[in-house]
Amino acid sequence: MIQITVKDVAYAYGRKQVLRGISHVFEPGTFTAIMGKNGSGKTTLLHCINKMAAGFSGEIHLGASDVRRLTLEELAQVTAFVPQGQDAVFGSSVFETVLLGRLPFMTWAPSETDYQIVDEVLAALQLQHFSTTDIRHISGGERQKVFIARAIAQKTPVILLDEPVTYLDIKHQLEIMTLLQELAQRGYNIVMVVHDLNLALTFCSRFLFLKNGNVVYGGDQSQINEALVESVFEVGASTMRDATGRRLFSFEVKD
Amino acid sequence: MNEPKTPAASVLYRRSLRKRYLFVGIALLLTVLLLGLGITTGAMNLSLPEVWNALFHRSGSPGEHIVLNLRLPRLLAAVASGGALALAGAVMQIVLRNPLGSPFTLGISNAAAFGAALAYLLLGNPALKPAGPDTWLGLQNALVTVSAFVWAALGSLFVIFVSRKKGATPENMILTGIIVNTFFMALTSVLQFLADDVQLGSIVFWTFGDLSKSTWNTLLLQALVIVPVFLYFLKHNLRFNALDAGDQVAGSLGINVHRFRMHCILLTSLLTASIVAFYGIIAFVGLIIPHIIRILIGNDARFLVPASLVLGTMFMLLCDMLSRSLFSPLVIPVGIVTSILGAPLFVLLLIKGNKR
Domains and CATH numbers, chain B: 22-355 (1.10.3470.10)
**Cβ distance of A131 and B93 shorter than 8 Å:** no
Are the beta carbons of B248 and A131 separated by less than 8 Å?
A: no
φ, ψ (nearest 5 deg) of residue A177: -65, -40
Q: Out of B9, B99, B235, whose CB is closest to A95?
A: B9
Please answer yes or no on whether A90 and B245 come within 8 Å at the CB atom.
no
Chain A positions in Cβ-Cβ contact with residue B298 (cut-off 8 Å)? 92-93
**Which residues on B lie below 8 Å from A100 (Cβ)?**
241-242, 245, 249, 253
| Option in A81, A116, A122 nearest B252 (CB) | A81
Q: Are B343 and B334 contacting, i.e. CB atoms less than 8 angstroms apart? A: no
Q: If pLDDT is split at 50, 70 and 90, which confidence band does B1 have?
A: very low
Burial of A50 (0-12, 13-18, 19+ CB in 10 A): buried
Exposure string over A186-213, b if 16+ CB within 10 A, otherwise e: eebbbbbbbbbbebbbbbbbbbbbbbeb
Which pLDDT tens digit goes with each residue over B67-106? 888 889 999 999 999 999 999 999 999 988 888 888 888 8
| pLDDT attached to residue B251 | 92
Residue A248 main-chain phi, psi, to 5 deg? -130, 165
Q: Where are the beta strands (DSSP E) in chain A?
A: 4-13, 16-26, 31-35, 57-62, 65-66, 79-82, 158-162, 189-193, 206-211, 214-219, 236-241, 247-252
Judged by CB atoms closer than 8 Å, whether chains meet at A72 and B255 is answered as yes
Distance (Å) from the alpha carbon of A223 to chain B's nearest alpha carbon: 34
Asked whether the beta carbons of residue B252 and residue A132 sit closer than 8 angstroms, the reply is no
Q: Tell me, what's the pLDDT at B355? A: 46
CA B194 to chain A, closest CA, distance in angstroms equals 44
- Is B74 an 8 Å CB contact of chain A? no
pLDDT at B250 over 90: yes
Residue A47 is predicted with a pLDDT of: 94
* Nearest residue, CB atoms, A50 vs list B9, B244, B252: B252
Sign of the dihedral defined by the CA atoms of residues A210, A216, A220, A222, in that order: negative
User: Where do runs of H (alpha helix) occur along A162-225?
Assistant: 170-185, 197-203
Give the chain B residue whose CA is nearest to the CA of A113.
B10
Chain A residues whose CB is inside 8 A of the B16 CB are 93, 132
Are the CB atoms for B91 and B322 separated by under 8 Å?
Answer: no
A144 interfacial to chain B (CB closer than 8 Å)? no
Q: Which residue of B has its CA nearest to A103?
A: B253
Mind telling me how many Å the CA of A250 is from chain B's nearest CA? Answer: 34
Is any Cβ of chain B less than 8 angstroms from the Cβ of A128?
A: yes
pLDDT (tens digit per residue) in B18-28: 999 999 999 99
Average pLDDT, chain A: 92
Model confidence band, residue B136 (pLDDT cutoffs 50, 70, 90) = low
Preceding omega of B329 cis (within 30 degrees of 0): yes
The percentage of residues in chain A with a pLDDT greater than 90, rounded to a whole number, is: 74
Contact A83 B252 (CB under 8 A): yes
Tens digit of pLDDT for each residue in B175-229?
888 888 899 999 999 988 888 887 787 677 767 788 887 888 889 989 999 999 9
Please determine, for residue B135, whether its predicted confidence score (pLDDT) is greater than 70: no
Q: Which comes out higher in pLDDT, residue A214 or A245?
A: A214
Size of interface A-B (CB pairs under 8 A): 108
% pLDDT > 90, chain B: 27
3-state secondary structure of B282: coil
3-state helix vs strand vs coil in chain A, percent to 5: 35, 30, 35
Using CB atoms, pick whichever of B9, B249, B300 lies closest to residue A118.
Answer: B9
What pLDDT does B125 receive?
Answer: 55
Q: Which of these ranges, B60-74, B125-139, B254-268, has the smallest mean pLDDT?
A: B125-139
Q: Is A100 close to B242, i.e. CB distance below 8 A?
A: yes
Is B98 close to A115, i.e. CB distance below 8 A?
no
For the packed helices B334-355 and B285-297, what is the interaxial angle rounded to 10 degrees?
40
The verdict on a CB contact (< 8 Å) between B253 and A90 is no
Would you call A161 an interface residue with chain B, using a CB distance cutoff of 8 Å? no
**Residues A189/A29, Cβ–Cβ less than 8 Å:** yes
Q: Exposed (0-12), middle (13-18) or buried (19+): which is A1, by Cβ within 10 Å?
A: exposed
* Residues 6 or more apart whose Cβ sits within 8 Å of residue B224: none
Chain B residues whose beta carbon lies within 8 Å of the beta carbon of residue A71: 254
Tell me which residue of B263, B245, B316 sits closest to B286, measured CA to CA.
Answer: B316
Mean pLDDT of B270-279: 84
Give every CB contact of residue B101 below 8 A, 6+ residues apart in sequence: B89, B92, B93, B94, B95, B173, B287
Per-residue model confidence (pLDDT) at position B169: 64
User: CB count, 10 Å around CB of A222?
Assistant: 7
Q: What is the C-alpha separation between A40 and B281, in angstroms, rounded?
A: 52
Whether residue A190 contacts residue A32, with contact meaning beta carbons closer than 8 Å, is answered with: yes
- Alpha-carbon distance of B85 to B105, in angstroms, equals 12
Average pLDDT for A182-204: 95
- Helix %, strand %, coil % of chain B (to 5): 80, 0, 20
Give residue limits of the domains in chain A: 1-78+156-224, 86-155
CB contact under 8 A, A129 and B299: no
In this prediction, residues B106-112 reach a mean pLDDT of 85
C-alpha–C-alpha distance, residues B327 and B338, integer Å: 15
CA distance A92 to chain B (A): 6
Average pLDDT over chain B, rounded to an integer: 83
Quick one: closest CA in A to B301, which residue? Answer: A92
Strand partners, A16: A13
User: Tell me, what amino acid is at B149?
Assistant: F
CATH value of A1-78+156-224 in 2.40.160.10, 1.10.357.10, 3.40.50.300, 3.30.360.10: 3.40.50.300
Interface-testing mutation among A51, A90, A108, with chain B (most B C-beta atoms within 10 A): A90
Q: Given strand A31-35, what is the order of strands in its sheet?
A: A79-82, A158-162, A189-193, A31-35, A206-211, A214-219
CB contact under 8 A, B238 and A122: no
Q: Are A200 and A194 in contact (CB under 8 A)?
A: yes
The residue of chain B with its CA nearest to that of A121 is B9
User: Could you read off the pLDDT of A53-64 as tens digits, one per residue?
Assistant: 888 999 999 999
Beta-carbon separation of A50 and B256 below 8 A? no
CB-CB under 8 Å, A75 with B6: no
pLDDT value at residue B298:
87
Which phi and psi (to 5°) does residue A71 adopt?
-75, 165
Closest-CA distance of chain A to residue B112, Å:
28
* Contact by Cβ (8 Å): B211, B81: yes
Q: Is A133 on the interface with B (CB under 8 A)?
A: no
By DSSP bridging, strand A57-62 and strand A158-162 are: unpaired
Inter-residue contact B238 to B200 (CB < 8 Å): no
Q: What ipTM was assigned to the predicted interfaces of this complex?
A: 0.91
Q: What are phi and psi of B116, to 5 degrees?
A: -65, -40
CA distance B97 to A147: 19
Q: Is B241 on the interface with A (CB under 8 A)?
A: yes
CB B279 within 8 A of CB B214: yes
Judge contact between B154 and B111, C-beta under 8 A. Answer: yes
B244 touches chain A (CB under 8 A): yes
Q: What is the pLDDT of residue B134?
A: 56
Which residues lie across from A66 on neighbouring strands?
A61
Residues A23, A27, A28, A30, Cα dihedral to 10°: -110
Answer yes or no: do A103 and B235 touch at CB < 8 A: no
User: Three-state SS for B94?
Assistant: helix
Q: How do residues A75-117 score in pLDDT, each as one tens digit? A: 999 999 999 877 778 888 999 999 999 999 988 889 999 999 9
In this complex, is the C-beta atom of B232 within 8 Å of any C-beta atom belonging to chain A? no
- Name chain B contacts of A128, Cβ cutoff 8 Å: 6, 8-9
Mean pLDDT (whole number) for B296-305? 90
Distance CA B301, CA B287 (A): 16
